[in-house]
Amino acid sequence: MTNVFVTGVAGFIGSTLAERLLSTGHSVTGYDNFSTGQREFLSSAAKHQDFRLVEGDNLDLPALTRAMAGTDTVFHLAANADVRFGLEHPSKDVQQNTLATFNVLEAMRANGITPPVRSTERLARSPLPKTMPSRSKLRCMPLPRWPVKG
C-alpha cells in the first residue's frame, strides 16, 4: 500500500482522485483549507478507514510538513483556480498558486519525498497506474497564465 498525500482534496478533482486511490488499496491523507473545496465531496472518502483529512493551508509550511510526514507520493491539486480577478488582486494568485506550490515542494524535500507527478483533470477519469512512480521523468513545462497572441 502506498501512502498518498493530496492537496486540494475537497475540490472535485481532488476528492475524485482520493476515492480512486482508496478503491485501489492506497492510504490517502487529504489536505485542504476549504476556501473553495466542499466537505460533501469527501463524504465517500471519509467513510474509508485508510482516509485521513487534515484541515490546513499550504501557506503554513510547518503544518504542511508535519501533515505530509510518512507520505510516499504527493498529488498537488490545490490552487486558486478563479483567475478572473488576477489583474486586480495578483498577490492572491502569487500566494495561493506560486508560494503554496513552493511550500508543497519544500515539505516534500523535508520529508524525503521524490519529485511530484504532473497531473491534469484527466487524472480523475484515467485508470491509475499499477504502481506509483518513484521518480517523475516528466519535464516541468509551465503554461502561460493568459493566452498568448501570436
- Per-residue pLDDT tens over the stretch 27-59: 999 999 999 899 999 999 999 999 999 999 999
Neighbours of 32 (CB within 10 A): 27
Assess contact for 75 and 6: CB atoms under 8 A.
Answer: yes
CA distance 39 to 142: 30
- Per-residue pLDDT tens over the stretch 92-106: 878 888 899 999 999
Q: Which domains does the chain have, with CATH numbers?
A: 3-124 (3.40.50.720)
